[in-house]
Chains A and B, each alone.
Chain A
Amino acid sequence: MTTSTPRAWWKTGIGLVLTGLMLFPVYWMINVSFTRDQDMRATPPHLFPTNGTLDGYRAVLDQQLPYLGTSFLVGLGTVALTVALAAPAGYALAKLRPPGGPALSFVLLIAQMIPGIIMAMGFYAIFLTLGVLNTLPGLILADTTLAVPFGVLIFTAFMSGIPDELLQAAVVDGAGRLRTFWSVVLPVSRNSIVTVSLFAFLWSWSDFIFASTLAGGGDHQPITLGIYHYIGNNNQQWNAIMATAVVASIPAAVLLILAQRYVSMGVTAGAVKD
């Protein structure tokens, strides 16, 4: 690709400005997280955290670690459950052509469209009866609904690309279906497992609606509720609020840095067929 012409660099300049505009709120969050309380209401606001403080982050360490821990555990549980449910389903839909398979795909597509608030109300009624309100397993079960349809979609798409000869070779070697799935299909589907896991983790980490309805009254509250309580308490310590927000954004940042290509893949998978 022709790159180093002056015209191309000029476009890079515009690109930097556009990206800067889009990311300005993120910068502002970071800036405020370092701002001292007495500078918080300065006019005009300080554009850089000169005289910055780490008080906000100290507050995070003091108050938010249990919330972060809960979010982390719920995230891991959601990933495990999502992959365990979606990977076999993707394999079956992609390679075994079960009767009724298309109907199941259709149901999954519809399931994605159900607004969270509706699921939350149904879950609340059920969890109350089962006694799993305000527990980790309850929240994991609910958060898994965010990613399972997406997971099946991704696994089906990628496992369709596995050549049939490979699977037949395994059968010839005497492997059953379960063994083929475990020692042939899963290893070659590593990329799709990574994609699904990343999104499942991110969605469960970001979830607010299930957290606030199903875990809002208990000891196991995730970080989204940690931030929400900060705001709701009429707490005017905005550096602490924004510091928590910065910490809560770390998984998204890590995801983008480590797994950029998987992210674009996940975003487009649902929308574009090639």
Chain B
Amino acid sequence: MRSTTETSAAVRDQGGAASAAPPGPPPSRARRPNRWLAWGFLAPVTIYLAAFYAYPLYRNVELSLREYTVRSFVQGGAPFAGLDNYRTVLADPAFWPTLTHTVVFTVASLAFQFTIGMALALFFHQHFPLSRTLRALILVPWLLPLIVSASTWSWLLNSDSGLVNAALGVVRVDPVNWLTSPGWSLTSVIIANVWIGIPFNLVVLYSGLQAIPAEMYEASALDGATGWQRFWGITFPLLRPVSAITLLLGLIYTLKVFDIIWIMTRGGPTSSSATLATWSYRLGFGNLLPEFGPGAAIGNLLIVLALIAGLVYIRIERRQQLR
């Protein structure tokens, strides 16, 4: 795997450096350095974490528990409101549809990204001329700034002049208002998001495939297994840990997705493609009169979802390391 070659290269460099140094006495005395001194190296990142992760998070919780207006946001002194903001959000008629969109967006994105990514990984694992180069090129969608991908898809899916509708016209299908009809907007943003996510799934699953020893396949080839049997009998079970992690990381990333939806549809029309992330943004920044309290409350609900996914991820990872 990549990291292994990388490490060995580093080790080689060090071999050179070490032999160039004058041969000192062997390190005989067992030095027991004070391990607390290591915190000197950790201090910058710890302070940074406290100031720029923990404190914004704390401010966000605080925002969600107070009754903020623009005035009190600037000057302070917003009255404590307890869980009122959460009640407002949960009672909002938009809450359940938005939660449903979030779930549909996440599940559909993951299902398609993973399936297509897996198919491509299996295909590229066959090593043919140019396979490395092509595999690298497929990474492009993942590396592009999201605003670039989102605006490109906006134009591809444009109702009047988009290429997708033009192509549908060739096969005599009526044009679809991809971004401007409530029935299609969520599908459209899912399509764009799947396109962006495929490369990540491909790369991670590919590296998982490489870790499967070739002998396993040789043995099953001797037994006369077909390609399909090989996949379900060997590849799929052995790839399960990597698959689980791919899906969970995908889940965490997909829950966070905001840019693509906001740029393509702004969650509309009439909130038909709104997710928790875009709703939170709309409340906090999208209107002339910001509603920071409810916006922060939605954000905190989102973080609870992400953390649950994250804890599952860490559990799976731990279990794998123990094995």
Q: Are A256 and B140 in contact (CB under 8 A)?
A: yes
CB of B267 to closest CB in A, whole Å: 12
Produce 1/0 per residue, B259-288, CB < 8 A to A: 100010000000000000100110011000
State the CA gap A268–B193 with chains docked (Å).
20
State the CA gap A26–B280 with chains docked (Å).
30
Q: Is A88 an interface residue when CB atoms closer than 8 A count as contact?
A: yes
**Interface magnitude class on chain B:** 35 or more
Contacts of A271 in B (CB 8 A): 204, 242, 245-246, 249
Contacts of B246 in A (CB 8 A): 271
Interface residues of B in 249-264 (CB under 8 A from A): 249, 252, 255-256, 258-259, 263
Interface residues of A in 66-110 (CB under 8 A from B): 84-86, 88-89, 91-93, 96-101, 104, 106-110
Q: Could you count the A-B residue pairs with CB atoms below 8 Å apart for me: how many are there?
A: 353
- A247 to B, closest residue via Cβ: B148
State the CA gap A263–B171 with chains docked (Å).
40
Task: Choose among B35, B39, B153, B310 the residue that contacts A110 (Cβ–Cβ < 8 A).
Answer: B310
Given A255-B143, A256-B140, A267-B204, A118 and B60 contact (CB-CB distance below 8 Å): yes
The segment from B41-49, B84-92, B106-114, B225-233 found at the interface with A is B41-49
Q: Are A92 and B138 in contact (CB under 8 A)?
A: no
Given A157-B3, A272-B204, A88 and B44 contact (CB-CB distance below 8 Å): yes
Q: Is B303 an interface residue when CB atoms closer than 8 A count as contact?
A: yes
Q: Are B152 and A245 in contact (CB under 8 A)?
A: yes
Produce 1/0 per residue, B211-225, CB < 8 A to A: 100000000000000
Q: Is A61 an interface residue when CB atoms closer than 8 A count as contact?
A: no
Contacts of B63 in A (CB 8 A): 121-122, 125
Q: Are A98 and B59 in contact (CB under 8 A)?
A: no
Q: Are A177 and B37 in contact (CB under 8 A)?
A: yes
Q: Is A274 an interface residue when CB atoms closer than 8 A count as contact?
A: yes
Q: Is B27 an interface residue when CB atoms closer than 8 A count as contact?
A: yes
Contacts of B31 in A (CB 8 A): 171
Q: Are B73 and A128 in contact (CB under 8 A)?
A: yes
Q: Are A97 and B166 in contact (CB under 8 A)?
A: no
Q: Are A15 and B306 in contact (CB under 8 A)?
A: no
Produce 1/0 per residue, A141-161, CB < 8 A to B: 110110010001000011001
Q: Are B128 and A15 in contact (CB under 8 A)?
A: yes
Contacts of B25 in A (CB 8 A): 172
State the CA gap A241–B156 with chains docked (Å).
13
How many of chain A's residues have a CB under 8 angstroms from any CB in B?
A: 122
CB of B54 to closest CB in A, whole Å: 9
Contacts of B143 in A (CB 8 A): 202, 252, 255-256, 263
State the CA gap A47–B116 with chains docked (Å).
26
Q: Are A25 and B153 in contact (CB under 8 A)?
A: yes
- A91 to B, closest residue via Cβ: B41
State the CA gap A40–B25 with chains docked (Å).
75
Task: Choose among A88, A224, A242 the residue that contacts B145 (Cβ–Cβ < 8 A).
Answer: A224
Q: Are A158 and B263 in contact (CB under 8 A)?
A: no
State the CA gap A128–B256 with chains docked (Å).
24
The segment from B93-101, B182-190, B293-301 found at the interface with A is B293-301
List chain B positions with a Cβ less than 8 A from chain A: 1-4, 6-7, 9-11, 13-14, 17-18, 21, 24-25, 27, 31, 33, 35-42, 44-46, 48-49, 52-53, 55-60, 63, 73-74, 120, 123-124, 126-131, 134, 136-149, 151-156, 160-161, 163, 166, 169-170, 195, 198-200, 203-204, 207-208, 211, 242, 245-246, 249, 252, 255-256, 258-259, 263, 277, 280-281, 284-285, 292, 295-296, 299-300, 302-303, 306-307, 309-310, 314, 317, 320-321
7 contacts between A and B (CB under 8 A): A23-B138, A122-B57, A172-B25, A188-B10, A248-B148, A267-B204, A274-B4
Task: Known pairs A22-B140, A25-B141, A249-B144; list 7 more (Cβ under 8 Å).
Answer: A23-B137, A26-B152, A89-B42, A115-B299, A157-B3, A171-B27, A268-B203
